[in-house]
Amino acid sequence: MKITPIVLLELDVLKKHQIKLFIKRDDLTHPLVSGNKWRKMKYNIIEAKRQGFDTILTFGGVFSNHIHATAAVGKEFGFKTIGIIRGEENSISNNTLSSAKEMGMQLHFISRSNYRLKNEKSFQNELIRKYGHIYIVPEGGTNQFALSGCEEIITESILQIDTKIDYWTVGCGTGGTASGMILGTKNKSKVIAFSALKGDFHTNDIKNLINDDKFDNWEVNTDYHFGGFAKYKPELVDFINNFKMETNIQLEPIYNGKMLFGVFDLIKKGYFPRGSTIVAIHTGGIQGIKGFNERYGNLIS
Ligand SMILES: Cc1ncc(COP(=O)(O)O)c(C=O)c1O
């Protein structure tokens, strides 16, 4: 997979606050397995092949980018794929699931209460009995192989620009992408993970994922979730549409729109010292815009 570009934004507000803001265009990794999904799947694919698996099974909600990306991995790298979906079969009409199905994924719908058992050994053994020799990837694709892939966001970016980087920013769902990045920085620069969900559980989740107390140069920001997962407010939609007009970069409203709204708001509030360099990671997820627009009316242009 190619090295993704990193671009410096030229905007008046950045000049005014003397901030250098780069966007790492991980949305351009692959048209279907985009952004952090590719980073998370890379070493899982290698491991699944190494262990001789021909089927990948994973879990997700009806709008899950991860389900969509796993289906694309299957198509691209020759795996059968099975998606265990939280919810009703009639949600198949949505774009994420119908295109996962088109790419060959077998979808299996389960109730919310059964879905909660997804990480339990007995539930996974039942899946193995049912589906045979399967490589199981957790919800959101977050496991130790995923963290290794996400570390490379940092190592790759550092080689691309010759400015000292002070801050890295990224949207946060399970915290896997941020955790890999935290490991990648080796404590030399700060990672800010912007929560896309309501709640303050991310700090603990990330601590558990990195499992090493010496990495402490990071924080979770919970101020820009806009009411919760996949929720929005008109100012978020305006920000995304204006950002596209000014930079020609498309953001989605679930993760990257919220994260960059937060970054610009913090810049305006003077959170980042003048002279700081920030790299914001565009983690892709653009395929989700169609579903968002179908649900709320064509808000994102
Ligand atoms: C486009 C996009 N960005 C960011 C994230 C958050 O990643 P993580 O779950 O690793 O925190 C996701 C989540 O799956 C995503 O789909």
CB 173 near ligand 1, within 6 Å: yes
**Protein residue with its CA nearest to atom 4 in ligand 1:** 171
Low-confidence ranges of the chain (pLDDT < 70): 1, 91-93
| pLDDT in the model for residue 207 | 97
How many residues are recorded in the chain?
301
Return the bridge partners of 57, or none: 82, 136
What is the location of CATH 3.40.50.1100 in the chain? 6-35+150-296, 36-141
pLDDT score at 91: 62
Atom of ligand 1 nearest to the CA of 193: 11
Q: How far apart are CA 159 and CA 167, in angstroms?
A: 16
Instruction: Please state, as a whole number, how many other Cβ atoms lie within 10 Å of the Cβ of residue 146.
Output: 27
Cβ burial, residue 218 (10 Å; 0-12/13-18/19+): buried
Give the atom of ligand 1 at the shortest distance from the alpha carbon of 34.
1
Angle between helical axes of 234-247 and 256-268 (0-180°, round to 10): 90
Check if 253 has its Cβ closer than 6 Å to any atom of ligand 1: no
pLDDT of residue 92: 63
- Cα 129 to averaged position of ligand 1 atoms, centre (Å): 30
Mutating to test ligand 1, I would choose from 28, 41, 65, 287 the residue with most ligand atoms within 8 A of its C-beta, which is 65
How far is residue 268's CA from residue 258's CA, in Å, rounded to a whole number? 15
Determine the longest span between alpha carbons in the chain, in angstroms.
Answer: 61
Say if ligand 1 is within 6 A of residue 38 CB: no
> How would CATH label the architecture of 36-141?
3-Layer(aba) Sandwich (3.40)
111 CA distance to ligand 1 centroid (A)? Answer: 23
Please work out whether the CB of residue 35 comes within 6 Å of at least one atom of ligand 1.
yes
Task: Give the model's pLDDT for residue 220.
Answer: 98
- The confidence score (pLDDT) of residue 184 equals 97
Q: Which fold has domain 6-35+150-296?
A: Rossmann fold (3.40.50)
